Structure 1
Amino acid sequence: MVPPQFPQGNSRRHFLQGAGLATAAAVLGTRSRAESTPRAVVEEVRTISLQPQYYHGWPTVTRRRNGDLVLVVSGGREGHICPFGRVEMMVSHDQGATWNWPQTILDSPSDDRDAGVLETARGTLLATTFTSLAYERSLLDAEKKKGQPGAWPEERLQRWQAAYTRLNAEERKANLGEWMVRSTDGGITWSARYPTLVNSPHGPTQLADGRLLYVGKQLWTTEQKAGVGESTDDGATWKWLADIPVRAGDSVTQYHELHAVEAGGGRVIAQIRNHNKTNSGETLQTESTDGGKSWTEPHSIGVWGLPSFLNRLRDGRLLMTYGHRRAPFGNQARVSTDAGRTWSEPLLIYGDGTSGDLGYPSTVEFDDSSLLTVWYEHMKDTPYAVLRQARWKITT
């Protein structure tokens, strides 16, 4: 998880005005072009957190073959940065109308962050996370300010210190990693955590040939390569398959939070959160035509916003949903009809956020082609970030 950046931008009103101009331009164009312009029709937006006393961050939702929805999230938190994060799972049996009480599936002695989930073709659930000591600096600063004006309350300082000292310095370093847990009984029980080669917020994807690809980033190595792990045993073990090349003039240290999808016709695409100077704050894209063994140099697709989540829809189109962390704060989507070679203008799923501490949307599709998108959001009237969802559909 990369700390959010909160640049200023146009207002939601200006965005909608721009969208209206784009719509008008489409109407003035050819009839076929107007009919092919996708729109988002949002039916419902609501909060789904069941524990408002905690901060929730960076969720992923997946739809199982039996129709259940499985959502994982970094829960139990005090804030965006803290030592208390744990991976929690929520399940819905009614397409998101109601959600079961959260179940903790992983809680290490360090902060467990971004949570991804996938059901494999064999029915196995794979959940991903990574451990972090990002909170360490905040704690050290608080210790230095003890007894001074603006210092933390003593109870809070003691709570953080107690969490920090669960491990000694050597153990804390050893506990850093990119992790996966695995369930073969529908999420009732989970394996012990085991290391993966990379991390990304939403986890791996499965190809039609049965292989699993995990496109992500090395977090705790000197190189911090972006690349692809492969599993041929249902996610039990992983091996390195390929590096993601670095665009000329870029640093790989500024590539983050990748996600991939099989686009059809032997083509796999992956998208990258980019913080290099060129196209900073945009989503970059790279493609593979050999099953993930080699990839093109990342390139701009003209989308400001990040990170993205990719779906291949029932009709063969691709959908990317992504956070928009400047006005209008919220989540947007784009559609591709040509396997990711080009993308539509933005579809507004939600644009009423009050800050950039939101996003990381992920999306599932139902049998009637309607969609459900889940994200996290620090709202104005809540002390902690909550889980949110939107029911919507794409029309033309």
Structure 2
Amino acid sequence: MRKRTAGSFLAACGLIVAVVSAGAQEQAAEIWGAPVRQKRAEILWTKVICKQPGRYIGWPTACVRKDGEILAVFSGDRDEHVCPWGKVQMVRSKDAGVTWTPAVNIANTPLDDRDAGIIELSNGDLVAAWFTSVAYQNSIRDRAKLKPGSHRFFWWLHHEKLMPEVKHEWLGYFTIRSSAGWVSPAYDRCGAGFRPV
């Protein structure tokens, strides 16, 4: 087994995780089309860390905690790239990415939760951030074109139940914090773009 340096880190890509290590020796020229030798690290291996059959998972972000635990957050349990069902989910590995826990929801607002990021603070608390969207509404504007029982038909039903004040309250950027469990989401007026933390 290859020795990992203190500069080792993990990069999660969709359902695939790539473990990379600073200063490791080259084995292959490319993995999944990416050069093995990167500017600051080398890809050692890739593997699927989370599967949700029939569902879409996107936009992962990972962090390595001081104790070595790896956390990856993402928008999961989705119908497709743009839909109303996205939830902020998290998986964990305590053995350098060899095994992973099942995904758990850490945030699930009434809107589409997207592009989660996560960091560990100096005191060990975790902070996750994401934004919400109603971009799916563009594909359900014409009710006459929606086939009963289709994904978009159910999106329309969901959207019709959302009161304007609910959309107003939950549309934007949010953070949650955990010291011993996740607290309620807090609205973030500053918000960031893609991967807010």
TM class by smaller structure: 0.7 to 0.9
1:41, CA displacement in angstroms? 4.1
Aligned to 1:144: 144
Aligned to 1:190: 182
Q: 1:167 aligns with which of 153, 159, 162?
A: 162
Q: Quote the Cα distance in structure 2 between the aligned partners of 1:184 and 1:161.
A: 37
Name the structure, 1 or 2, with higher relative contact order (CA <8 Å, separation 6+).
1
Question: So what's the TM-score if we normalise by structure 1?
Answer: 0.38
User: Map of 1:1-396 to 2, 5 A cutoff?
Assistant: 38=39, 41-141=42-142, 143-146=143-146, 152=147, 154-185=149-180, 189-196=181-188, 197-204=190-197
Deviations for 1:87-116, whole angstroms, at most 9, x for unmatched residues?
001100111111100110110111011100
* Count of aligned residue pairs for this structure pair: 162
Q: After TM superposition, what 4+ stretches of structure 1 lie above 2 angstroms from structure 2? A: 37-43, 152-158, 199-204
Question: So what's the TM-score if we normalise by structure 2?
Answer: 0.74
Q: Quote the Cα distance in structure 2 between the aligned partners of 1:203 and 1:122.
A: 20
Q: Quote the Cα distance in structure 1 between the aligned partners of 2:172 and 2:39.
A: 40
Q: Is the 8 Å Cα contact of residues 86 and 114 (structure 2) preserved in structure 1?
A: yes
Q: Quote the Cα distance in structure 2 between the aligned partners of 1:53 and 1:67.
A: 32
Aligned amino acid, residue 191 of structure 1: V
Aligned amino acid, residue 103 of structure 1: V
Q: Quote the Cα distance in structure 2 between the aligned partners of 1:162 and 1:99.
A: 35
Aligned amino acid, residue 73 of structure 2: V
1:159, CA displacement in angstroms? 1.8
Q: Is the 8 Å Cα contact of residues 71 and 91 (structure 1) preserved in structure 2?
A: yes
Q: Is the 8 Å Cα contact of residues 118 and 203 (structure 1) preserved in structure 2?
A: no
1:201, CA displacement in angstroms? 3.1
Q: Quote the Cα distance in structure 1 between the aligned partners of 2:68 and 2:103.
A: 19
Aligned amino acid, residue 55 of structure 1: Y
Q: Quote the Cα distance in structure 2 between the aligned partners of 1:99 and 1:68.
A: 10
RMSD (Å), alpha carbons: 2.4
1:74, CA displacement in angstroms? 0.5
Aligned amino acid, residue 145 of structure 1: K
Aligned amino acid, residue 196 of structure 2: G
Aligned to 2:12: none
Q: Quote the Cα distance in structure 2 between the aligned partners of 1:156 and 1:97.
A: 35
Q: Identity rate of aligned residues, in percent?
A: 35
Unaligned runs of at least 5 residues, structure 2: 1-32
